[in-house]
């Protein structure tokens, strides 16, 4: 099968969250199963072209946006494992350090143009290179217009008309909703500006149009697929997803264990495995030293690595963390950035809780790996979580997740059973200060009073396998389904 993946993020080139991890790993897993996969990305100013050997590929690519012909160039690099990445180079749109917003977290006002252009340019690249894809795979609102461009413009094209389109929703809270006249720039025709396609309370909704036009749609866990089909977590999309019937499904993300496992983590100075855990003790000591915590093997550490956004529930955590640190024998480390109020709160927490709390406000790949390895528990009190990767990484590092029962967190963490000592983590239902307090307290009482259960849970957690191979096979059946549906068009 020939698969073209269009995305706004991809490890190791550009990342703000889990989308990049997925787009960096899924193509390689598909390629390992014998398929031809390419990834197309914007060339942001922050992509390290020398480090990743990004070289010129095409000087000029002309792209029709509405009635205007715009020009860009194309560069290329290897993603590894036989997958080629192509970069759309358009300096006015992409030569910026951040991907979506300025340094104050204000979205760039030209985002609709940037990503509509990128998506159309990616399709044009396939066309100009005569790359006949079986599948065009779009991710999130940024590339959700791909299925629309294919159906509205390229239905008769010798190259692009062959492709079935699929759309993966990594987070339905971001839909890309812009003023109605954006439809002119995209050239996607006013006849499609209606409530069942693009129109959303008088504005143009990229994701909604993508859902309508895609042959198949999925999200990144079965539970989130269920939650978004019916309830408020769909952010208004429930009727449109329900209308897709069984053409909307949930496929759990995999994780890349070459990057994320304690046996061979490229960022860790100490390695360990379920059989030989001494490296975890060294990592814990290093984490305590690095983050200014009291060095003490016996005190458990609760770690967090997260974007500071409403989704993650860290505002509720902020309201209760000082009480937890005062009442309980525990340490807390947090790495993250985003909301300025939360950055200030967590940035100054170590001053208020010296020796007990450590924080780093910003982005650090290296520290995120050390937190996974050196912590004993990993907290994710998300309001919603389409999949969540950090809790899956935590399992492999024997760092037991404390999570809210939602989305992918519900699907990947097994509740601790106090009678049997089974399970892989600690789950709570309602997002409240008390629930966080009680569940952290439950994990800590297990640590101090039933430590043999922690040992057993660690072994169980570390043996779980969420490798991409399984998920990639699920994507292949999903693609087959899309191809068959397209044939029946």
Residues in contact with ligand GLC by CB under 6 A are 17-19, 22, 170-171, 220, 253, 385-389, 408
Does 306 participate in binding ligand ADP (rule CB under 6 A)? yes
Q: Which is nearer to ligand GLC, 253 or 331 (CB)?
A: 253
- In the complex, minimum distance from the CB of residue 100 to ligand ADP, in angstroms, rounded to a whole number: 13
Choices 106-114, 149-157, 293-301, 358-366; region in contact with ligand ADP by CB under 6 A = 358-366
- CA 234 vs CA 47, 225, 229, 245: distances in Å: 33, 9, 7, 15
Give dist(CA 316, CA 480) in Å, integer.
Answer: 43
Q: Which does 210 bind (CB under 5 to 8 A by kind): ligand ADP, ligand GLC, none?
A: none
Token pair for 73: 């160039």
Q: How many residues bind ligand ADP (CB under 6 A)?
A: 18
Q: Give the start-end residues of each E strand in 118-202.
A: 135-139, 164-169, 177-179, 199-200
Strand order in the sheet with 331-338: 357-361, 331-338, 301-308, 377-380, 400-404, 426-428
Least distance from C-beta 172 to ligand GLC, angstroms? 9
Single out the segment in contact with ligand ADP by CB under 6 A; choices: 120-128, 136-144, 330-338, 349-357. Answer: 330-338
Residue 443 interaction partner, one of ligand GLC, ligand ADP, none, beta carbon < 5-8 Å per kind: none
Indicate whether 307 belongs to the interface with ligand ADP (CB under 6 A).
yes
Rounded to whole angstroms, how far apart are CA atoms 155 and 159?
10
Using CB distances below 5 to 8 A depending on partner kind, what does residue 192 bind out of ligand GLC, ligand ADP, none?
Answer: none
* Binding map of ligand ADP across residues 387-426, x = CB under 6 A, - = no contact: xxxx------------------------------------
- For position 305 contacting ligand ADP by CB under 6 A, the verdict is yes
Q: What is the DSSP letter of 422?
A: B
SS3 category, 444: helix
Residue 111 or 171: which CB sits closer to ligand GLC? 171
Nearer to ligand ADP, 21 or 134 (CB): 21
Indicate whether 228 belongs to the interface with ligand ADP (CB under 6 A): no
d(CA 29, CA 199): 37
108 is a site residue for ligand ADP (CB under 6 A): no
Q: Which stretch binds ligand ADP (CB under 6 A): 14-22, 273-281, 464-472, 479-487?
A: 14-22
C-alpha to C-alpha distance for 198 and 187, rounded to whole angstroms: 13
Q: Cα dihedral sign for 417, 420, 423, 426?
A: positive
Query: Which of 13-21, 116-124, 140-148, 424-432 is the region at the interface with ligand ADP (rule: CB under 6 A)?
Result: 13-21
Stretch of 89-97, 211-219, 303-311, 351-359 contacting ligand ADP, by CB under 6 A: 303-311
Q: Which residues contact 29 (CB under 8 A, 6 or more apart)?
A: 254, 468, 469, 471, 472
Least CB distance to ligand GLC at residue 448 (A):
31
Phi, psi at 34, each rounded to 5°: 100, 20
Q: Is 161 exposed, middle or buried (0-12, 13-18, 19+ CB in 10 A)?
A: middle
Is 250 a binder of ligand ADP (CB under 6 A)?
A: no
Tell me which of ligand ADP, ligand GLC, none is bound by residue 310, counting a contact when its beta carbon lies within the kind-specific cut-off of 5 to 8 angstroms. none
Find which of ligand GLC, ligand ADP, none residue 390 binds, CB within 5 to 8 Å per kind: ligand ADP
Q: Where are the beta strands (DSSP E) in 118-158?
A: 135-139
Structure tokens at 113: 């143009």
Residues of this chain, 15-34, that bind ligand ADP according to CB under 6 A: 17-19, 21
- Between helix 206-213 and helix 145-152 the angle, nearest 10°, is 50
In order of 29, 252, 254, the CA distances from 467 in angstroms are 9, 10, 5
Q: What is the dihedral of CA 134, 138, 144, 147, to 10 degrees?
A: 0
Residue (264 or 278) nearer to ligand ADP, CB: 264
The DSSP 8-state label assigned to residue 11 in this structure reads T
Residue 220 contact partner, candidates ligand GLC, ligand ADP, none, CB within 5 to 8 A by sort of partner: ligand GLC
Q: Which is nearer to ligand GLC, 185 or 257 (CB)?
A: 257
Q: For residues 111 and 131, what is the distance between their CA atoms, to the nearest angstrom?
A: 27
Part of the chain binding ligand ADP (CB under 6 A), chosen from 37-45, 70-78, 381-389, 453-461: 381-389
**Minimal distance in Å, beta carbon 390 to ligand GLC?**
8
Residues near ligand ADP, by CB under 6 A: 17-19, 21, 305-307, 335-337, 363-365, 368, 387-390
């Amino acid at each position: 099968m020939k698969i073209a993946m269009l995305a706004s993020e991809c490890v190791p080139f550009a990342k703000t969250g889990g989308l990049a991890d997925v787009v960096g790993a899924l193509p390689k897993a598909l390629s390992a199963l014998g398929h031809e996969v390419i990834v197309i990305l914007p060339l942001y100013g922050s992509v390290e072209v020398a480090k990743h050997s990004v070289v010129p590929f095409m000087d000029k690519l002309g792209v029709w946006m509405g009635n205007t012909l715009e020009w860009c160039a194309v560069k290329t690099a290897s993603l590894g494992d036989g997958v080629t990445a192509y970069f759309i180079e358009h300096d006015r749109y992409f030569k910026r350090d951040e991907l979506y917003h300025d340094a104050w977290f204000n979205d760039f006002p030209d985002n609709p143009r940037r990503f509509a252009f990128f998506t159309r340019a990616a399709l044009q690249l396939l066309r100009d290179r005569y790359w006949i894809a079986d599948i065009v795979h779009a991710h999130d609102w940024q590339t959700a217009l791909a299925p629309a461009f294919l159906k509205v413009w390229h239905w008769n094209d010798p190259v692009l008309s062959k492709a079935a389109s699929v759309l993966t929703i990594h987070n339905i809270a971001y839909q890309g909703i812009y003023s109605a006249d954006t439809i002119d720039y995209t050239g996607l025709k006013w006849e499609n500006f209606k409530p069942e396609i693009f129109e959303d309370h008088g504005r143009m909704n990229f994701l909604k149009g993508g859902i309508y036009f895609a042959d198949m749609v999925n999200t990144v866990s079965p539970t989130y697929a269920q939650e978004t089909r019916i309830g408020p977590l769909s952010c208004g999309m429930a009727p449109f997803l329900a209308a897709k019937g069984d053409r909307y499904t949930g496929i759990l993300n995999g994780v890349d264990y070459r990057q994320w496992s304690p046996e061979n983590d490229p960022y860790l100075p100490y390695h360990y495995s379920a059989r030989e855990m001494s490296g975890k003790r060294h990592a814990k000591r290093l984490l305590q030293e690095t983050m200014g915590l009291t060095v003490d093997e016996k005190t458990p550490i609760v770690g967090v690595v997260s974007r500071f956004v409403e989704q993650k529930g860290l505002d509720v955590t902020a309201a209760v963390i000082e009480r937890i640190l005062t009442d309980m024998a525990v340490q807390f480390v947090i790495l993250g950035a985003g909301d300025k109020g939360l950055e200030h709160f967590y940035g100054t927490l170590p001053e208020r809780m010296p020796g007990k709390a450590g924080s780093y406000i910003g982005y650090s790949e290296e520290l995120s790996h050390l937190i996974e390895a050196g912590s004993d528990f990993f907290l994710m009190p998300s309001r919603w979580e389409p999949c969540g990767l950090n809790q899956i990484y935590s399992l492999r590092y024997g760092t037991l997740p404390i999570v809210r029962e939602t989305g992918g967190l519900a699907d990947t963490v097994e509740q601790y059973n106090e009678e049997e000592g089974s399970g892989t983590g600690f789950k709570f239902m309602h997002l409240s200060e008390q629930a966080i307090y009680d569940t952290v307290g439950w994990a800590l009482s297990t640590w101090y009073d039933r430590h043999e259960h922690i040992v057993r849970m660690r072994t169980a957690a570390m043996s779980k396998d969420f490798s991409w191979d399984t998920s990639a096979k699920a994507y292949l059946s999903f693609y087959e389904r899309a191809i068959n549906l397209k044939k029946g068009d």
